[in-house]
């Protein structure tokens, strides 16, 4: 199995050390399932003082990332990767909103290049070097680094073997379009709150049904927008109809 290779262009490679050196991402890298290569954009600056940014034409505040260092970094990566580049994704607030669906799509690639924008923005011609843009939500970060970490984390855990068999990503929240059911572990009673009886019954079919219904209930309460796209069986739909009727009767 070939690893999924990420080349990440950033001005701050040291930011990535923590998240990529612990837990499942660390293990995935050690086991050769995932390769993460941090590329310092500044190393590719063709300018005397290794500048990477400049003031915007037309005036106004802030500094803008220049296109040349990023272009040269991409060309160096292309050469290192045998003349080919996978999708080149710019992390920025204007991109397509990141989602579990997009994470699955990216997990099918062999090579991904992430460009972390910084300062007040990037020269518009940097955008044209990318094949796509991703935003991790409608808020503005100081740079694309944290967003890139989010994307790498969400994609890496979908790669075969990363999570191990016991925790298949197919059961995740959003996998079938529903939020996950509640989980419980020991103790059976914590500060007066008991584990639902069904979970200790040993009755697997009843447990599975309970979990499914809790997923549907939780999604209806917290994220009703997800329900229209969820994969529901006839039994699920009946349960959902009854839930909605009960809610109507209660007037809540």
Out of 33, 52, 115, 141, the only residue in the binding site for ligand ADE (CB under 6 A) is 141
70 is a site residue for ligand ADE (CB under 6 A): no
Cis preceding linkage at 135, omega within 30:
no
Output b/e per residue, 142-180; b: 16+ Cβ within 10 A: ebbbbbbbbbbebbbbbbeebbeeeeebeebbbebbbbe
Q: Which two tokens stand for residue 93?
A: 């607030």
Interface segment toward ligand ADE; rule CB under 6 A; list 62-70, 120-128, 136-144, 193-201: 136-144
Q: How far apart are the first and last CA of the chain?
A: 52
By beta-carbon proximity to ligand ADE, the closer residue of 73 and 149 is: 149
By beta-carbon proximity to ligand ADE, the closer residue of 77 and 91 is: 91
Q: How far is the CB of 68 from ligand ADE (least distance, A)?
A: 21
140 is in an annotated binding site: yes
Q: How many CA atoms lie within 13 A of 156 on its CB side?
A: 24
Q: How far is the CB of 158 from ligand ADE (least distance, A)?
A: 19
* Site track 146-165 with ligand ADE (rule: CB under 6 A), x = hit: -x------------------
Q: Which two tokens stand for residue 165?
A: 């068999």
22 is in an annotated binding site: no
Phi, psi at 154, each rounded to 5°: -65, -35
By beta-carbon proximity to ligand ADE, the closer residue of 70 and 230 is: 70
| Alpha-carbon dihedral 160, 170, 109, 123, rounded to 10 degrees | -130
Out of 4, 9, 70, 92, the only residue in the binding site for ligand ADE (CB under 6 A) is 92
Q: For binding to ligand ADE (CB under 6 A), which residues are involved?
A: 91-93, 117, 135-137, 139-141, 143-144, 147
């Amino acid at each position: 199995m070939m690893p999924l290779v990420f080349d990440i262009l950033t001005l701050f490679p040291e930011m990535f050390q923590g998240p990529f050196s612990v837990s499942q991402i660390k293990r995935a890298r050690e086991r050769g399932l995932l390769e993460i290569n941090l590329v310092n954009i500044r190393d590719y600056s063709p300018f005397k003082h290794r500048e990477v940014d400049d003031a915007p034409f037309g005036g106004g505040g802030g500094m803008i990332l220049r296109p040349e260092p990023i272009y040269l970094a991409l060309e160096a990566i292309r050469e290192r990767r045998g003349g080919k580049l996978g999708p080149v994704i710019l992390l920025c607030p204007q991109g397509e909103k990141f989602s579990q669906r997009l994470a699955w799509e990216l997990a099918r690639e062999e090579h991904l290049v992430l460009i972390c924008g910084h300062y007040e923005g990037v020269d518009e011609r940097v955008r044209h070097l990318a094949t796509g843009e991703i935003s991790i939500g409608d808020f503005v970060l100081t740079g694309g680094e944290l967003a890139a970490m989010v994307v790498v984390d969400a994609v890496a855990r979908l790669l075969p073997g990363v999570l191990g068999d016991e925790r298949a990503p197919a059961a995740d929240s959003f996998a079938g379009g529903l939020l996950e059911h509640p989980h419980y572990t020991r103790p059976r009673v914590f500060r007066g709150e008991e584990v639902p009886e069904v979970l200790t019954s040993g009755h697997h079919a009843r447990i599975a049904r309970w979990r499914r219904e809790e997923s549907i209930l939780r999604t209806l309460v917290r994220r009703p927008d997800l329900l229209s796209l969820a994969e529901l069986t006839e039994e699920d739909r009946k349960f959902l109809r009854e839930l909605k009727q009960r809610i109507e009767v209660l007037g809540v």
